[in-house]
Structure 1
Amino acid sequence: MEKIFLAALQITSGLGYAGIERLMQHFNTAANIWQATEEEILESKCLSEILCKKLFRHRQSFDIEKAANSWNKSNIKLLSVFANDYPESLKNIHNPPAILFCRGKLDNKRKLAIVGSRKFSVYGKSIAQNLSADLAAQEFTVVSGAAHGIDTFAHRGALSTGTTVAVLGCGINIAYPRENKKLLDEIAEKGAVISEYEPQAQPLAGFFPARNRIISGMSLGTIVVEAATRSGSLITAEMALSEGRDVFAVPGSIYSEQSAGCNHLIQQGAKLVTCAQDVYNEYDTSVQSKQNEQQINFNSDEEKKVYEMLSYDQPLSLDEIIYKLRSDVSNISFVLLQMKLRGLVEETVLGTYVRSVKEIV
């Protein structure tokens, strides 16, 4: 029950890690804190009088037994900063969450964060998927925020070859954005979905910057794939720097607003990333990227020609493909359909085509 009491304390409005730590040093356990009288807590001088009253109002309204039963029925795990199952790297940041609510299981693999803008380009999407797939294939766990855009593609890429962790700016029983519910369920099955907020907490604007410190705090380094100059991803990069973690950035066109933030990070000293090997070189020179080892099973010469013509960042329409190949219309349409089903190409919302994550033999 100790973790339940600690979770209940964390949910108290205004009572952050620093306050909990002071109380733990004085009362030794979260259970003792929860059961202490108002006079005992005031006399400890761990909290201000105002915060002490907030804690007592919370204790009167919060049914700790009901919460414990509900979390247990939902298979929600509680990870305490004072226990061994808590991410070691996260313990070392300035303001770690006292409790992490978790669906799934956190592994002990080295972790790298991949973040980026909610507004993305075909270029950014392809980079996020391919880079995360390559990193996950080499036993790195990819950490991201499950937001629409680059975060989503980072999770999907990682799931195709390994594991990933989603850090939410809401409760772990809330699917946000809604279209990512299926993705979050899959992440919970193969990796972990975590949050410092109680399971039913709705997403609030202030939760997301706080969430970013967990993303960077769990990770050896943070890779920014695509970000404008005011992107929240840059907050994550700044937090990583403040904790002495590595920051990487994928360069983009100088004419693209979506790459302006990444290009600025590189100007400021972030490590430039063009492939997964650039990241491996920072941690283990013996690791060789599998990106160049990927082979594709082409079912026909037409498939090979179409794939070689397409790129990850320059979409082509069906008419452009037909014109360049000088081939029959119906045949190329069929070839593209088969390649889409196998995940070799992707059709954009505009009806154009680009390469997708490569099929590995």
Structure 2
Amino acid sequence: MALDQLATSQDGAAAPLAADRLRPVRLWLWFVAALIVLMVVVGGATRLTESGLSITEWKPVTGTLPPLSAEAWQAEFDKYRQIPQYQQINRGMSLEEFKYIFWWEWGHRLLGRLIGFVFLLPFLFFLWRGLVDRALGWKLSGLFVLGGLQGAVGWWMVASGLVNRVDVSQYRLATHLTLACIILAATAAVATSLKPAAERRASSDWLRGYARILFGVVLLQIFLGGLVAGLDAGLTYTTWPLMDGHLVPPMANLFVQQPAWRNFFENVLTVQFNHRLVAYALFALAIGHWLSARRVGGMVARRALLILGLVAAQATLGILTLIYQVPIDIALAHQFGATIVLIAVTVNLVRLRQDA
């Protein structure tokens, strides 16, 4: 379903209920969105600390509690010592070192469970109080289902690293990250649609089309960032703007694998180069979007300028992450920046649809 179909216009879902009555629902959705942003950042830290495979079982209910005794800790550690990551990379790790990576993964999973409760319980309350009509109820139910699917995709990702690998599949990591961001965008879209725009300025089909493309390219860039993270591609070519001495790497190196399509997902050089190319395209699109929005003026132009500034800041963080060889603080700031850019382009898209 297209993003602008997930959101409702000012004359849609907001019409049956006054905007002020929907304020608690809107604030709740923005709180959920903030938790999703935190989840993405904690997931990034889990990846950067190589903690994601420390818990080798998926126990949605009983896994809520961490080990509570020395025997329980030793049992968890013994399970971890059976997988290739321990045997090939972390052999000799102490129990205390294991606890460090365990807490990151456990915290990531606990936060996912918390988001589920923070979403479900208020949703049921708002239904009971009559603050959610049928159209909005279906949208919120869809978000809840997507959240459950995300949990399953997370385990599907972890499972890829428990046998015959020392890390998770980059395909599954990128899918997990992108689905999280789709849920974030959908949550922000619904929340934005519940409040009428402060001002309405007629925008052109061209500008709305521009906004849709911008949103799509941001999601594509996030997916490519997941591939970069999954392959540790940011640790290989750490200069900018040149890669291994070239502005554009030789085609023979970009397409060294056969069949050719595998290079887009498995060739470290090609994956990182594509991430750079899409970053350049996104910056150019943000400039073009801003120039078009200036003709409309008002909040439309201000939103476009904000998006351009956020994209520029995010590109800067990406370059710093690369040249400093992925320090955890800058890398997490870069991942956080991606969610903020996504929220900005989502809000912009919904508001432009309301102006139609």
Give your verdict on TM over 0.5: no
Higher share of residues assigned helix? 2
Higher share of residues assigned strand? 1
Structure with larger Rg: 1
